[in-house]
Amino acid sequence: MAAECTRAGLLAAADSYIAAQTAGKPSGLKFASNFTYQQNNKVSDISKGLLSTPFKIDLTRSTADTVTCASYTLWISSTGSKPYVVGTQLRHADNDTSTISMVDTIAATTGDLFFNASKTLGYIQKEDWSTINTTASRPSRELLKKVGDAYLDMWTDAKAADSIPWGTECERVEGSQYTNPCGKSLPRGGSKKANGMRRYVIDETVGSVDVLCQFDSLGTMPDSHEIRVIDGKVKYVHTITALKVG
């Protein structure tokens, strides 16, 4: 009988990831036999990666995608000698949330694009990410993917920005740079290289899409773009951008 990928299972796995990250002990996680650890778009040795370093985590939040059996977790550590803002997608093979087949992390730290963990923490702590309880008010999976792709397409497609349903009070946090409303100061084409390596986690219950990618339009920067849509309009945009692969 085929396993069912559940929201509860995905969020439980995300919680276990945060516990392992706090302790700096990936051995606390149950990995699939063909497990992959990827950090800043490069397959890496988990024993040398971020997950093997303990952190005091100031904020964490997770979303779940039962269609692809994956989750997205944002965490921020703003204190210590090396602060971080991190976005991680966990993937589970064969709908089995009891094991993790991939940890896929984009990690930004001091020296990365617009980086200031304390500022980022302050902005995101004020946001409302509660569940959209009315099913009819939730954005469709198709709309969320379309919005995520259109945002990343703005650097190559002059029409992409105008195809996005911007909310009048939309807030954008790029690294630690805050913009309100989101729909101003947008790129409108100009690059010939589309942003590639796109990996999605779409959660209709909170109206979010996270896309991990390689920001090829401006280089080969590892990047996470997370967008929340409420009542059909973009409410929040978060970006995490590292300047180096690996």
Break the chain into its structural domains and give their ranges.
7-125, 135-241
Which CATH architecture fits 7-125? Roll (3.10)
Q: Do domains 7-125 and 135-241 have the same CATH topology?
A: yes
**189 DSSP assignment:** -
| Amino acid identity at 129 | W
Nearest-angstrom CA–CA distance, 118 and 48: 26
> Looking at residues 105-134, what average pLDDT do you find?
96
pLDDT, residue 76, reads 98
- Residue 183's pLDDT band (cuts 50, 70, 90): confident
Residue 10, phi then psi, degrees to nearest 5: -65, -45
Q: Is the pLDDT of residue 2 over 70?
A: no
Residues 70 and 100: beta-carbon distance below 8 Å: no
- Nearest Cα to Cα of residue 237 among 153, 167, 190, 188: 167
Alpha-carbon separation of residue 84 from 54, 93, 113, 157, 190 (angstroms): 12, 28, 12, 32, 31
- Residue 120's pLDDT band (cuts 50, 70, 90): very high
Total-model pTM: 0.96
Nearest-angstrom CA–CA distance, 145 and 130: 20
Nearest-angstrom CA–CA distance, 204 and 95: 18
- Residue 21's pLDDT band (cuts 50, 70, 90): very high
The predicted-structure confidence for 122-158, as pLDDT tens digits, reads as follows 999 999 999 998 888 899 999 999 999 999 999 999 9
Q: Class of the 135-241 domain? A: alpha beta
- The mean predicted confidence, pLDDT, of the chain is 95
How far is the first Cα of the chain from the last one, in angstroms, to the nearest whole number?
Answer: 39
Nearest-angstrom CA–CA distance, 48 and 152: 31
Query: In the chain, at which residue ranges do the beta strands (DSSP E only) sit?
Result: 31-39, 42-43, 59-65, 70-77, 84-91, 100-109, 166-174, 177-179, 196-203, 208-215, 221-230, 233-241
